[in-house]
Amino acid sequence: MKKIITTVSAMTLTAPSGATKESQPVVQDNYLEDLEFIYASEESFKGSGFIDLSVEKTVLLTHDADNSGDITVGDKLKYTIQVHNLDDVEASGVSLLDFLESKIELNLGTVAVTQGVVISGNDFMDDTDVVYLDFGTIASNWFALVNFDVTVTNLEPGLNVISNSAEAYGPSGSFFLSDDPTTPGYDPTMVDAYGAYPDLIFTDGFEFRGSGGF
Ligand SMILES: [Ca+2]
Ligand SMILES: [Ca+2]
């Protein structure tokens, strides 16, 4: 019996990846310009409790479930976020919010902090797409850390980019987006992942599975 051939050309494999990677920083740059605009009147923050925090977020592949050597569905990643108080005064009431995109799910109960309280992410009833915590007060020139594990659950066929920025809130309503310290420029933390292709079935009856498949 003849079946419909579904094939994916090399062009479709490579084209979206380039587009995604180039477009991501542009979006972020625009956003940063907005932030700079808001803080252009930084003078007005002086003496009003404005404190400079740096937020850095990194990601590691900690469990390559299918031994594919790259990030695929079922693998586990560990995110680490460091919030550093760069000022000479303590930063009180620092909270952190991290929305996870639909390609990954938080492994509930894995959220570990060096200080403060985990508000969402460690109870089995919590959402698996958000980490929310209250660091409390970060001493001057000191830092707080959080790390948590996620599982890759949902990828499009081919190259995906799992992208994420955490948001830290400091005193006086100040707001800080995370940067990936391992890359130049101010950007979200991005990592390549590879989704499996559906089974390809040829007219001669030859049948095989796409690489990285289930
Ligand atoms: Ca893998
Ligand atoms: Ca960076």
Question: 79 CA distance to ligand 1 centroid (A)?
Answer: 17
User: Which tokens is 91 given?
Assistant: 């930063």
Give the per-residue pLDDT at 210.
57
pTM of the shown model: 0.71
Ligand 1 (single-atom ion) residues, CB below 5 Å:
64, 66, 68, 72, 75
Give the per-residue pLDDT at 211.
57
Number of structural domains in the chain? 1
Ligand at minimal distance from the CA of 185 is: 2
Query: 63 in a domain, yes or no?
Result: yes
In 3D space, the residue among 48, 36, 55, 35 whose CA is nearest the CA of residue 133 turns out to be 55
Mean pLDDT by groups of 10 residues along the chain of 214 residues: 39 40 43 40 46 94 96 97 95 96 97 98 97 97 97 97 95 91 96 88 57 52
Ligand 2 (single-atom ion) residues, CB below 5 Å:
179-180, 183, 187
Query: 2 in a domain, yes or no?
Result: no
Query: Residue 163 CB: number of other CB atoms within 10 A?
Result: 18
Range(s) of the domain holding residue 133: 10-38+51-208
Which helix H or strand E contains 20, and what residues bound it? helix 10-38
